[in-house]
Structure 1
Amino acid sequence: MHEARLPRTLEAAAVLLFLLQSVRVLFSVLFGVIYDTIFEEVIPLTAAGGILLAVILAFLTPLAAVRRRERGASLLLTTASIAALARIPVTINQPTIRLWSSIVVIGAAGLYLSTLARHHPRRLAPALILALAADQFLRTAGDTFDLALRPWWLPVQTALAVGVIIAGRRAQQGGGLGTGGGSPQDHPSGWIEGLAVGSLLFLETSLLDFPNGVARWSGTGYEVVAPLLMAVTLLPLIEPVRRGALRLFRGALGGLLLLVLGLVGLAAGRWVGGWIGLAGLLLGQYLLLVSLFRSGRAPTPGGLALGFLLFLVLNFAFAFTFTYPYTIPAFRGMGQPVLLVAGLIALLPALRSTRPETLRPAATWSPLSLLPAALTLLLTLAFAWPRPVAYRESGPLHVGTYNMHYGYNTTWRLTLEEIARTIEESGADVVMLQEVDACRITSYGVDNGLWLARRLGMHVVFQPTLENLSGIALLTRFPIVTADGALLTSELEQTGIVHARLRVGDEEVDAYGIWLGLKPEERARQLTDALAFIGDRSPALLGGDFNSTPDSPVYARLVGAGFVDPFVALGVDPAPTSPAIEPRNRIDFVWGRGLHPLDASVPDSLASDHRMVITEWDLP
C-alpha cells in the first residue's frame, strides 16, 4: 500500500497538470470559435452548438465514477492513460486539433479526479498543489508562455505520457486501492467540496496561479511576484507548516476566520493594490490551498460535476467583464465581484469541523523533502529575473504600431513568435501595441507585452484598460525617463492611451500609443481626451489603431494638431492595414510632431489580423 503512494501522487499530479493546461487551451480556442460564430458568421450556429455540447459533456464525466474499489483501480489507470495520450496533440499549434484533444483530456481527467477522490482522497490535495506548482514553473520558465505548448515540447510530452502510464501501472501493482490510510468509508465526502474544487480551479486558472496575473491585478512587479507566489503555493506541502495553520484555524471559529481572511485578502488585491494588495492575494492563495486539507472530506462525483459546471459559469461570467459591450453591459467592472463569489464558494468547506487526523504529525516527513521546493524556488527566481535591454542611445527612431489581436492571427492560431519576428525584422525601436492581454484564459494566460519585451530585449509600458488584465502597451529600446497612461472616455469597450518619455541621445521624445473605439462619436470623445493628455509636447510620436480612415474627422483633427502623416509627407503610397488578409482599410497610423519623417512602410506579415506599420524619423 505505502509503496503505491508516491507513483499514485505523481500520476495524479500529472493528470491534473494536463487538466490545467487543457482547460487553458480549450477556452483560448473557444474564444475564436465564439467570435467567428457571432461576429464573423463563418462558423454555423449548429456547429458551435455541437462544440459547446461536447464541452459540457466533458465536464460532466465525474458522474461516471464507479463505487467498487477493484474497478476504481482499473479506471484510474485507464483514464490517466487516456488523458496522458490525448495531451500529446494539445501541443500541436492548430486550433481544431487543440480543441478536440483538450476536450478529451478534460473528460478523462474529470473522471480520473472523481475516481481519485472516491478511492484515494488523501492524494487529491497534494496532487493538485503539485500540478499548480508545475504549471507555474513551466509558464515562468517561458516568460508567461507555457513551455509545454511550444512545438519543440512534443517529444517531451510523449515521454511524459509514457511516464504517467508507467506510474499508473506501478501504483496499481503496488496495491494502491485504499486511501493511503484507512478505507474510503473513513473519509466522508460532500457536494460542497465539489463546488469548492470547481471554484478553486476557476480562481487558479483565471488569476491566482499566474504570477503575471497577480502582478498586473495588484500593480506590482512580475519579477518579485513569481518567486513569492511559487513559495506560497508550495507551503501547504510542508507538513509542519500546514499542520500549524490547521491548528490555528481549527474549530468553527477558526474556520470562519480562515474564510474571512481569505476573502479580505482577495478583495485587497484589486481594491487596495500595491504591495498590500499583493500580500492579500498571497494570503488568499495560501488559505485556499490549506483549506483543501482542513475538513478531510472529498468531493462526491455529483458535487464534482456541479463544481465543473460552476467552473464553466464562472469563466463565462468573468469573460463578460471583458466583453460587456458585446454581451451583457451590466458586467462592466464586475471582475472583482466575480472572483469574490468564487472565493466564497471555494472557502465554504472551511466552515466544516476539522477532522482529527488532519492535525496529526506525519511519521515520514523529513527536512530533506524541502530540497526540491528550494530548487524550484531558485529556478523560478532565475527565470523571472529581468532580462537585459539592448539599449539604443541615439536616432534615427524606427517606430511602429501593431494591433496584435491578443497574440492570434486571423484564423485564431497562436502566433506570438511570428508577431515577435515581424517586429524584429522591421527594425523597430519603439512599437505601440493594441489588443494586448496580460493574463486571460482566452489567450493562454500569456502576458503579451512582457513576453514580447523579453523576447525582443526591450522595455514594456503596459496601460490596462479592462480589469487590469487587458489593454495597450508600448515597447522601446530607448531609455525611459518617465511613463504613464490614462483611460479614455468610453461607453463601449474601455480604451486608453499609454505614454513614455524617451531619451534619444541628448534629446527627449514623447511617445504615445492609442486605441480608439468602434463608433464615430466614441472616437471623437476619445480623441479629445487624448489630445488634452498629450498637450503641446514636441517632439512627439503617436501611433495606434485609430479605427479611422484618412477621410475621417479623426485624421483631420490630428493634422490640425500639428501631427504629420509620414506616408503623405514623403509621397509614399499608403498601403491599407486591415484586415491582414487582403487589406482594404488604412486605420493604423504612426504620426509625428516636431520630427522629420525619413521612411514609412507596411510589412506584409500575416501574424496578426492587422498589418504592422513601420516608420523612421529623425530629430529636428
Structure 2
Amino acid sequence: MNGVLRRLALAAVVGLTSASALLASAGAQDGAPSSKDVSLRVMSYNIQHARGVDGDVSVHRVAHRIAESGADVVALQEVDVHWSTRSDLRDQASELADLLGMHMYFAPIYSFEPGYDPENPGGEGSVPAPPGAEQRAFGLAVLSTYPIVSATNHELTRSVGRGPDRGEVKPIPGFADVTVNVRGTRVRVFSSHLQSGDSEQAAAIRTAQVAEMLEIVGEDPIRTILMGDLNDDRSWVYGTLDPLFDVLDDGWERAGHGDGRTAYLPEPDRRIDYVLTSPDIGVTSVEVLLSDASDHLPVVADLVVRR
C-alpha cells in the first residue's frame, strides 16, 4: 500500500506543479531559480489527530490532501501515536508515512507508557495500548520525500496539558529539528506547535518558547525552514512572535495569496499556521489549501533553496 495515494494524486500534482512554475516565471519577487537552485514544496498542517470538520477521524483523508498538494516536506502538528480511543489507538505518524511513501520523524510532546491512558488516567474504562505499542504519544511529525539524515526533538517550555505533571510550566519535548538531503543539499526543517490561549500566562509562555526556538535555530541560519501552528496571529496585540521575524522571513508576507487564514474551520478567522524561512531561501508562492480533514487548513509554500 506504500505510496498508493501519492500515485493516485499524480495528475493533481502535475497540475499544481505547473501552476507553481507559471507563478515563478511570471516574476515572483525572488526571481526565477537558476540551474543550481533546488525547488522545494513544503506544507505545514495541524491535523487535529485527523479529526475532520464532520467529526470523523480519517488518516486516509489527511493523506489524500497531502498527496494532492505535491508537497515534498510536510510539518505536522497534533499527531496521535497509540494515544487513545479518540483516534482508535492507531499510529497516525507511521500510517501517514506508509500511505504516502515518505520518510518520517515523530517528535512527541507527550509520551507515556503503553498501559497509561492519557485521556482517562486510572479511571474506569481505561484502555491499554495495542500489543507491541512502545508508547502512548501525541506531538509533531515531519514527512519527507527526501532522505532524513538527522533528527532531534528539542525541549520547549510549556504548560503541561496531560499526565501527572498537568498544570506545571516547565521544559518538555516538542520541537522537531530534522535535516533532509534534498538532491545533495542539506535543508534544516523544524515543526513546532506553540502554547495556545489568549491569557497573559499563555502569551508569556509563547514568548519564552520563541526565545528558546531562536537559541536552537541560531542567529544567522541558512537553508532553514520553520513551520507550524504558532498560535499567534501577527495582527494580534501580543507580539510574541516578533523576535522570530528578526531572524526568519514570513513566507506569507513575501509571496502569500488570499487572506492567509488557517483556523478554525468551518469559518477561519486567524492566521496562526506559518512557513518561515531563512533569508537565503527564495519564496515564489504561498497559499492556504481548502480541506475539511481538520479544524486547520494546510499552508503550502513553493521555495527555492540556494545551493
> Above 0.5 in TM-score?
yes
The alignment status of 1:589 with 2:267, answered yes or no, reads: no
The alignment status of 1:458 with 2:99, answered yes or no, reads: no
Would you say the 8 A contact 1:471–1:495 is kept in 2? no
Q: How many residues align?
A: 228
Q: Return the alpha-carbon distance in structure 2 between the equivalents of residues 585 and 611 of structure 1.
A: 11
- Which of residues 299, 302, 305 is equivalent to 1:616? 302
Alignment-derived partner of residue 8 in structure 2? none
Alignment-derived partner of residue 498 in structure 1? 176
Alignment-derived partner of residue 48 in structure 2? 405
Shift, 1:571, TM fit:
5.5
Q: How does 1:598-613 map to 2 (within 5 A)?
A: 598-613=284-299
Shift, 1:492, TM fit:
3.4
- Which of residues 379, 383, 396 is equivalent to 2:39? 396
Q: Do the aligned partners of residues 452 and 571 (structure 1) sit closer, same or farther apart at CA in structure 2, a change above 3 Å counting?
A: closer
Q: Return the alpha-carbon distance in structure 2 between the equivalents of residues 571 and 601 of structure 1.
A: 6
Deviations 1:529-558 (A, max 9, x none): 111122243110000000010134233211
Alignment-derived partner of residue 129 in structure 2? none
Q: Return the alpha-carbon distance in structure 2 between the equivalents of residues 409 and 472 of structure 1.
A: 18
Q: How does 1:162-173 map to 2 (within 5 A)?
A: none
Alignment-derived partner of residue 387 in structure 1? none
After alignment, is 508-517 or 465-474 more displaced?
Answer: 465-474
Would you say the 8 A contact 1:549–1:586 is kept in 2? yes
**Secondary structure of the equivalent of 1:485?**
strand
Q: Return the alpha-carbon distance in structure 2 between the equivalents of residues 495 and 554 of structure 1.
A: 20
Q: How does 1:300-339 map to 2 (within 5 A)?
A: none
The alignment status of 1:489 with 2:172, answered yes or no, reads: no
Alignment-derived partner of residue 567 in structure 1? 252
Alignment-derived partner of residue 533 in structure 1? 216
Would you say the 8 A contact 2:155–2:174 is kept in 1? yes
More helix by share: 1
- The alignment-based identity, stated in percent, is 30
Q: Return the alpha-carbon distance in structure 1 between the equivalents of residues 270 and 290 of structure 2.
A: 14
Alignment-derived partner of residue 420 in structure 1? 63
Alignment-derived partner of residue 187 in structure 2? 509
Alignment-derived partner of residue 80 in structure 2? 437
The alignment status of 1:446 with 2:85, answered yes or no, reads: no
Q: Return the alpha-carbon distance in structure 1 between the equivalents of residues 273 and 150 of structure 2.
A: 25
Would you say the 8 A contact 2:81–2:138 is kept in 1? yes
Q: Return the alpha-carbon distance in structure 2 between the equivalents of residues 574 and 513 of structure 1.
A: 23
Q: Return the alpha-carbon distance in structure 2 between the equivalents of residues 580 and 548 of structure 1.
A: 16
- Which of residues 126, 146, 149 is equivalent to 1:478? 146
State the TM-score, normalizing by the size of structure 2. Answer: 0.70
The alignment status of 1:545 with 2:229, answered yes or no, reads: yes
Q: Return the alpha-carbon distance in structure 2 between the equivalents of residues 517 and 426 of structure 1.
A: 28
**Secondary structure of the equivalent of 2:38?**
coil
Shift, 1:477, TM fit:
0.8
Would you say the 8 A contact 2:52–2:292 is kept in 1? yes
Q: Return the alpha-carbon distance in structure 2 between the equivalents of residues 475 and 484 of structure 1.
A: 14
Shift, 1:423, TM fit:
0.5
Q: Do the aligned partners of residues 571 and 599 (structure 1) sit closer, same or farther apart at CA in structure 2, a change above 3 Å counting?
A: closer
Shift, 1:495, TM fit:
6.0
Deviations 1:317-370 (A, max 9, x none): xxxxxxxxxxxxxxxxxxxxxxxxxxxxxxxxxxxxxxxxxxxxxxxxxxxxxx
Q: Return the alpha-carbon distance in structure 1 between the equivalents of residues 296 and 104 of structure 2.
A: 21
Runs of 5+ unmatched residues, structure 1: 1-140, 143-393
More strand by share: 2
Would you say the 8 A contact 2:263–2:270 is kept in 1? yes
Q: Mark the structure with the bigger radius of gyration.
A: 1
Would you say the 8 A contact 1:492–1:517 is kept in 2? no
Q: Do the aligned partners of residues 483 and 546 (structure 1) sit closer, same or farther apart at CA in structure 2, a change above 3 Å counting?
A: same
Would you say the 8 A contact 2:104–2:144 is kept in 1? yes
Q: Return the alpha-carbon distance in structure 2 between the equivalents of residues 515 and 492 of structure 1.
A: 13
Q: Return the alpha-carbon distance in structure 1 between the equivalents of residues 242 and 88 of structure 2.
A: 39
Would you say the 8 A contact 1:436–1:449 is kept in 2? yes
Question: Which residue identity is paired with 2:285?
Answer: D
Q: Return the alpha-carbon distance in structure 2 between the equivalents of residues 619 and 592 of structure 1.
A: 10
Q: Return the alpha-carbon distance in structure 2 between the equivalents of residues 470 and 587 of structure 1.
A: 20
**Secondary structure of the equivalent of 1:454?**
helix
Q: Return the alpha-carbon distance in structure 2 between the equivalents of residues 580 and 421 of structure 1.
A: 19
Deviations 1:354-408 (A, max 9, x none): xxxxxxxxxxxxxxxxxxxxxxxxxxxxxxxxxxxxxxxx831110011110121
Shift, 1:424, TM fit:
0.6
Q: Do the aligned partners of residues 550 and 440 (structure 1) sit closer, same or farther apart at CA in structure 2, a change above 3 Å counting?
A: same
Q: Return the alpha-carbon distance in structure 2 between the equivalents of residues 585 and 439 of structure 1.
A: 31
Q: Return the alpha-carbon distance in structure 2 between the equivalents of residues 497 and 441 of structure 1.
A: 22
State the TM-score, normalizing by the size of structure 1. Answer: 0.36
Q: Return the alpha-carbon distance in structure 2 between the equivalents of residues 477 and 466 of structure 1.
A: 26
Query: What's the RMSD between the two structures over aligned residues?
Result: 1.9
| Bigger RCO (CA 8 Å, 6+ sep) | 2
Q: How does 1:40-439 map to 2 (within 5 A)?
A: 395-439=38-82
Q: Return the alpha-carbon distance in structure 1 between the equivalents of residues 232 and 286 of structure 2.
A: 19
Question: Which residue identity is paired with 1:546?
Answer: L
Shift, 1:573, TM fit:
3.1
Q: Return the alpha-carbon distance in structure 2 between the equivalents of residues 527 and 571 of structure 1.
A: 23
Q: Return the alpha-carbon distance in structure 2 between the equivalents of residues 601 and 398 of structure 1.
A: 11
- Which of residues 249, 264, 268 is equivalent to 1:579? 264
Q: Return the alpha-carbon distance in structure 2 between the equivalents of residues 571 and 607 of structure 1.
A: 22
